[in-house]
Chain A
Amino acid sequence: MKTKTILIVEDEEIMLNSLVEKFTIEGFDILIAKDGERGLEVALDKKPDLILLDIILPKMDGMTMMRKLRKENNWGKDVPIILLTNLTSDDSITEGVARDNPTYYLVKTDWSLNEVVEKVKERLGLIN
């Protein structure tokens, strides 16, 4: 089975490290970006299998990045994006989030690392 590549867009160092460490242990190839602009670049360049996307980011927020990605090309339109954030889904900034069809909208505090991994695996068809 081909190793899956995940792009993690996260500006918070500790969070990013935890995620990188966990997903590395779980056997994923990891791409990282610390702001939205970089995230968009990396995504379009490397075309990862899935993107874990924070919302509040420097330069370009996660919502904008997702919208741009969805509009860019066929790959961008369909790539699974899991929003992993501390914003509540009905905050003004996340308004219209469903339009861009994210796979999941996960609030970080509500999910353990294992559960996040589970969701990713589920989406990539790695479980059953």
Chain B
Amino acid sequence: MLKIFSRKKSKDLKEKREVFECEEKFRFLYESSGDAIMTLDPSNWRFTSGNPATIKMFEVKDEKEFISLSPWQLSPKFQPDDLLSEKKAKKMIEKAIIEGSNFFEWMHKRYKGENFLANVLLSKVKIDKKQIIQATVRDISKQKEIEERYQTLVNNLSIGIYRNTPGKKGVFLEATPATVSMFEAKSKEEFLKHRVSDIYKDSFEGELFGEKIMRDGFVKNQVLKLVTLKGRDFIGSVTAVKKKDQEGNIYFDGVVEDITKQKKQEKELEKYHKGLEKLVDDRTKELKNTQKALLGMLEDLDIEKTKIKEMKAKDKAILMSIGDGLVVTDKDNKIVMVNKVFEKMLGWKYTEVKGKDIDKVIVRKRENGKKMPTTNYFVCKSKIKFPVSSIATPIKFKNKIIGTVEIFRDITKEKELDHAKSEFISLASHQLRTPLSSMKWLLEMLVEENINLDEKSKQRLDNIYISNERLISLVNELLDINRIETGKLVINKEIVNITDLIKESEKLNEASAKKKNQKIKVSYFTKIKDVNISTLLFSQVIDNILNNAIIFAPENTEINIGIDLEKDNYVVSVHNIGSFIPKSDYKKIFYKFSRGIAAKDSRVMGNGLGLFIAKSAAEANRGKIWVDSDVDKGTTFYFTVPVK
């Protein structure tokens, strides 16, 4: 019995202690809880207690103030669902009384403060047979705010988030609005009805993807061909993670992004890149071709250059090898080139004379300064003088004179030969003169002695005399030519009036003109000034021409001598009738030993030297001589004399 008692007693004790412990526990919880815990008397809708968290949550002074407030004062007038807080609260409490508890969300209001959302748990409690409501209120305003922000974030994400079950028959468990719209589903519910395999364009690719997640635990940024519920293809980049729930079921959380545009852009970019590359490639090819062509051209140019160089070298070699001396100057008379013969003849090396004034290198001298014709002499480095024949020609390039080229030859030998010839002619002539003059005088004496000779013999004697005279005149003329040619003829210039010289010649030839009953007329219409010339040379010219005119003109004609002024020259003309000279002979008649047709026809005495002497003399007097002939009008010889 005791035992039972004791057991019963111990049971009581135990129960008491348990109650006590429970009460302690409760008190602790009640005092320290972060949740507001309060009690409410449903009979009069009054609070009967509130823990410290309550005081704090509703921002009231103390428990006493809290109890003095009615529940409506701690809620806004309307709940978010537009129901009157007073009405809805009563319903919630009634539900709690009927069902024992009620958990719901409630919009509270801090006393004299802002609204805040809270989770409310109402529990029906019986204390001392009195029915009271115990309420636990948790402020979830912050939590809600975060949740909302998160939601907004998720909803506004262009990337879709979803959850699905693995395997061929996998289904979607969750999907964000972005996922829903990405797959063109009408709603989240509609989307969740579909299988995972529905979103893959290529189901095999989808299976591989799933297997990979299963194997590796995750797949990052896998590019997959996807298709919307409406059947539109797009390219998605999917990252998925394998997860397990509390029951050990495997599921995948995934993030999907529509990268069609990006891909398109990438493709376009790639295309653009390829285009660019092609362009660059083409350009490079083009460049290479150009380069190749250019190289070819350069090569050609090089070949041409070499050719030109060779040609130049050849030209130079030709110039250098010319047997005559050669010197080239620029337009300022500076030496730019000389050949080997130049170096040899003058003793100057090219390096010594390069760039120097040619006139300072080549000292030119004239034969004795006075005599005609002039021979040029060059003085070489060692001051030795030698005769040269030289021709200087201007170098014209593109109509501009860019310099001169002069070639010269040492004519020492020619000179010597020429001299020997002259000496020979001179000597021969003089030697000839002695017997000629002897014959002349002997014949003269024979004729004068009046020896008895028949007419025939007398005539023969006359002819011998005439022949001798012809020989004498031939020798004389030969000597004259020689004198002119060798320049031995001393040109003594005098101030004279050519009209006087013409008169002298007229007188000299008067006798022979008279024989043919010819008249010599001199006429001029300008005032003839004195000139500075060689009278001897002038007389040689006029005598020869006038003598010819008399010889060739028919009897009973007039010979006209005229003087005209043309520019800086007096032009003396001698005109006679007849003695036609064809144009082709205009030049020839002035050659040595040449006789014109007229001269041949008329059987006139002549040795073919007269006009040659006239020409030589006219030119030695700085003049010219020419002829003009017409069958009807006759023949006119002209020669000039410089006024100054």
Contact = CB atoms under 8 A, between A and B. Distances in A.
Interface of A: 12, 14-15, 18-19, 21-22, 56, 86-88, 90-92, 107-110, 112-114
Interface in B387-430: 426, 430
B488 A109 contact: no
Interface residues on chain B, size class: 20 to 34
Interface stretch (B41-49, B152-160, B472-480): B472-480
Leading 5 A-B pairs by shortest Cβ distance:
A108-B437, A86-B433, A109-B472, A18-B441, A14-B438
B442 A108 contact: no
Given A15-B437, A108-B437, A86 B430 contact: yes
B381 interface: no
**Interface-centre pick from B441, B444, B483 (highest chain A CB count, 10 A):** B441
A9 to B, nearest CB: 15
Interface string B112-149: 00000000000000000000000000000000000000
A109 B426 contact: no
A112 B489 contact: no
A108 B445 contact: no
B565 interface: no
Contacts of B457: none
B434 A22 contact: no
Contacts of A92: 488
A90 B437 contact: no
Contacts of B479: 88
A53 B438 CA distance: 16
Given A18-B445, A113-B444, A87 B430 contact: yes
A108 B433 contact: yes
Contacts of A15: 434, 437-438, 441
B430 A113 contact: no
**Interface-centre pick from B426, B433, B437, B488 (highest chain A CB count, 10 A):** B437
A14 B426 CA distance: 22
B437 A21 contact: no
Contacts of A108: 433-434, 437, 440-441
A12 B448 CA distance: 22
B352 to A, nearest CB: 39
B436 interface: yes
Given A14-B438, A15-B438, A88-B483, A109 B445 contact: no
Interface in B468-496: 472, 475-476, 479, 483, 488-490
B472 A14 contact: no
B502 to A, nearest CB: 22
Given A18-B445, A112-B441, 13 more contacts: A12-B434, A15-B437, A22-B441, A86-B434, A88-B479, A90-B483, A108-B433, A108-B437, A109-B436, A109-B476, A110-B472, A113-B444, A113-B445
Given A86-B433, A91-B488, A12 B441 contact: no
A14 B442 contact: yes
A14 B442 CA distance: 9
A43 to B, nearest CB: 23
A18 B438 contact: yes
A19 B445 CA distance: 10
A14 B448 CA distance: 17
Contacts of B434: 12, 15, 86, 108
A92 B445 CA distance: 33
16 contacts: A12-B434, A15-B434, A15-B437, A18-B445, A19-B441, A86-B430, A86-B433, A86-B437, A88-B479, A88-B483, A90-B490, A92-B488, A108-B434, A108-B440, A109-B437, A114-B444
